[in-house]
A and B are shown apart, each in its own frame.
Chain A
Amino acid sequence: MNALLDALTLQAGYNAALVAVGAGLLGFAAGSSGTLLVLRKRALVSDAVAHATLPGVALAFMAMVALGGDGRSLPGLLLGSAVTAGIGLLLVEAITRRTRLPEDAAIGAVLGTFFGFGVVLLTVVQTMSAGRQAGLEGFLLGSTAGMLFEDAVVIAVGGALAVAATWVMRRPMTLVAFDSDYAASLGYDVRRIDLMMMGLVMAVTVIGLKLVGLVLIVALLIIPAVTARFWSDRSGHVIWIAGGLGGTAGYVGAAISASAPALPTGPVIVLVAAGLFAVSLLLAPVRGVLAAVLRRRRFALRVHRRQGLLAIAARHTIREPFTLRLLVREGLVRPDGVPTDAGRAQAARVVRDERRWDIAREIHQDAGLTGRYDGLTPIEQVFTPDEIAEFDRRLGPPVAVGAA
């Protein structure tokens, strides 16, 4: 536990602190740019892009070794991965546009093929004399062991640039995500904006390769965005909430991973993000599961109460156990089923409400108002006192209800 606290407060050593900050920035960038991707309903295109980075990493390594340099230079590897990721992205686009294969098939085909080719190249790299210590496998699931200061700077600067780009392009991209036809009619080039969005996703993917790995980076793009959606209905807010959630997941995940052995960074970050998602799914105020259950229960209570009171007014015996319990608890009915005075008073009110509604629906022409009759809404919430007085005039004098 102490190790975890140390890591969370950046006390666990220079390298761990570097990784945690880098992961936080990356998480923020991934969360905010992933939001636009999820809104555009193209979340899994990023999976193809991520897997398509593998051949690029291997090719870049080979090229750098062939040119006599150090094959492990991170900017070089990332550049290579960006090239093949871009090719993969364009291929997904081309297959979807030019053939009759649907986008999901194109995604799967590009993902599998590029990854397979990348594995072939990795085996080639392993047989190169300089390749044995390359550690390119670390790009699969992320590895932070032996991360250099320069690497962390690359991640931090890249993450910050991606956040800035998201900020600059958020309006056209949100517009395209919600209504691409409208965007086109305003003169935006939808296809170019789509490509720009995917380019942004690609940049995040490439930056995240070293930390999270290409298999799981897609999680960092999707999960915070989906989680943030629970907390707000405004796209502008969702972007930054997703960024915050992604940043938290990255930072906390990297800290946990640094606090004990055999805790690979990428999976831990993803699991932290998934934990945040699960909490939001259950507890979010409006869209959460708990909120929905409570809402449903409140609705059931209102229906049972109303129907119970109407039954009292009609002098029916209440047999439905839940309704009976409810009314007994409120003191409207005695446990043997006989209504109390309070119960009869309430029943009279409800019946009057129903009668008023009957009149209102008979004489009132405004369907927008009478259409709000659902057997639950009190008429006072819809009509003015003057109008209700008019309904009462037509109703005639009061009658006793529910009396023995």
Chain B
Amino acid sequence: MGAEFVQFSLTPILIGVLAAISCALPGNFLILRRQALVGDAISHVVLPGIVVAFLLTGVVATVPMLLGAGGAAVVAVILIEAVRRLGRIEPGAAMGVVFTTMFAGGVLLLEQSDTSRVHLDVEHALMGNLESLIWFRADGWGSLLDPVALADLPEELGRIAVVCLMMVVLTCVFWRWLKIATFDEGFARSLGIPAAAVGFGLVVAAAVAAVAAFDAVGSIIVIAMFICPPAAARLMTNRLGVQVAWSVVFATLSAVLGYVLAGYGPLWLGFGNAVSAAGMIATVSGVILGLACMFGPHRSRIGQPRGAGA
């Protein structure tokens, strides 16, 4: 737990934890609103958004990427609504049409354009590369106080920290609105809460979280971060505040445990190489959800004996 840890593991763990929390916070509300698959759709359309932003600006930088992905999410939401209403198609299928098409477009653009100079390739876009986000300049815990070394922190850390802070602030500020609009949209409207705008804002916030987490874990594992911790938390309690707290705990646990297992687990088992940290984080979050499904105190529907089928 010395210099090597600070240099190679500290920043990936931090980024993983912050990414997991950023996704879990909006994920709580997406799950309660039965929009879990909006997370799925968004995480897929983040790719074309980022690619278009890159093609327009020529750089991989925070602001264009966030704008591009946020824009893509908005376009996707509008398209899904348009396809659903114009074609009178059920929402799931409309979503399936839109996000696969946009994702296919993104992959094609990425393959067609010359992105070899920057680390933007399809494989990383899908699977993420948490391990590469290391802190070169660090030579021990003392570096945390060294401004020169701190300036060299991977920019992804700053990005995800800002986004995570934003998610926490937004969740706190709009807590009452989110809560009422999620559970009873009609009641929310009668109180003068713009329920539709809250729903749209939630989707955009989820898109921003997906972009920020995209660097670290790629566009598909993000889905696990959106869904698994909040879903597990949902099985632990009937109170929204407690559920959100549980989801943050589960998200943190998945990130830390996942990274450690990926980095050190194979060594303990006698293999030489680490495995994908992002994948392991998703796996751990899935295992946590599995345990919650089997042992969570509030796992069954109300009115059903525990463990009974529907």
Contacts and interface: CB of A to CB of B under 8 A. Distances in A.
B40 A123 contact: no
B220 A215 contact: yes
A101 B100 contact: no
Contact of B298 (A97, A100, A109): A100
A113 B285 contact: yes
B236 to A, nearest CB: 12
Interface stretch (B84-92, B137-145, B193-201): B84-92
Given A98-B309, A108-B226, A120-B262, A287 B87 contact: yes
Interface in B121-139: 122-123, 126-127
Interface string A114-126: 1111111111100
Contact of A222 (B93, B224, B266): B93
Given A42-B92, A44-B95, A219-B101, A120 B36 contact: no
Interface string B277-310: 0111111011101000100101111100001111
Interface string A145-169: 0000000000000000000000000
B272 interface: yes
Interface in A78-122: 95-102, 104-105, 107-122
Nearest to B285: A113
A113 B287 CA distance: 8
Contacts of B94: 226
A315 B99 CA distance: 57
A403 B83 CA distance: 52
Interface stretch (B102-110, B153-161, B172-180, B182-190): B102-110
A38 interface: yes
Nearest to A91: B290
A364 to B, nearest CB: 35
Interface stretch (A181-189, A258-266, A324-332): A258-266
A240 interface: no
B272 A127 contact: yes
Contacts of B39: 108
Given A100-B300, A120-B262, A137-B123, A226 B93 contact: yes
Interface string A7-28: 0000000000000000000000
Contacts of A121: 275, 279
B272 to A, nearest CB: 7
Contacts of A41: 90, 92-93
Contacts, number: 233
Interface residues of A, number: 63
Nearest to A111: B223
B221 interface: yes
Interface string A212-226: 000110110011011
Nearest to A269: B104
B235 interface: yes
A20 B105 CA distance: 20
A141 interface: yes
B96 A222 contact: yes
A298 B301 CA distance: 51
Contacts of B286: 109-110, 112-114, 116-117
A204 to B, nearest CB: 14
B276 interface: yes
Contacts of A271: 101, 104-105, 108
Interface of B: 31, 34-37, 39-40, 44, 83, 86-90, 92-97, 100-101, 103-105, 107-108, 111-112, 122-123, 126-127, 218, 220-228, 231, 234-235, 262, 266, 271-276, 278-283, 285-287, 289, 293, 296, 298-302, 307-310
Which 5 A-B residue pairs are closest in the complex by CB-CB distance?
A116-B282, A113-B286, A112-B224, A119-B279, A219-B100
10 contacts: A104-B36, A105-B234, A119-B278, A119-B279, A119-B282, A121-B279, A123-B279, A226-B87, A229-B89, A264-B108
Interface of A: 38, 41-44, 47, 51, 95-102, 104-105, 107-124, 127, 137, 140-141, 215-216, 218-219, 222-223, 225-226, 229-230, 262-264, 266-268, 270-271, 274, 277, 281, 287, 289, 292
Given A47-B40, A226-B96, 17 more contacts: A44-B95, A98-B309, A100-B301, A105-B31, A111-B220, A112-B222, A115-B223, A116-B282, A117-B286, A119-B218, A122-B276, A123-B274, A137-B123, A215-B126, A219-B97, A266-B107, A268-B104
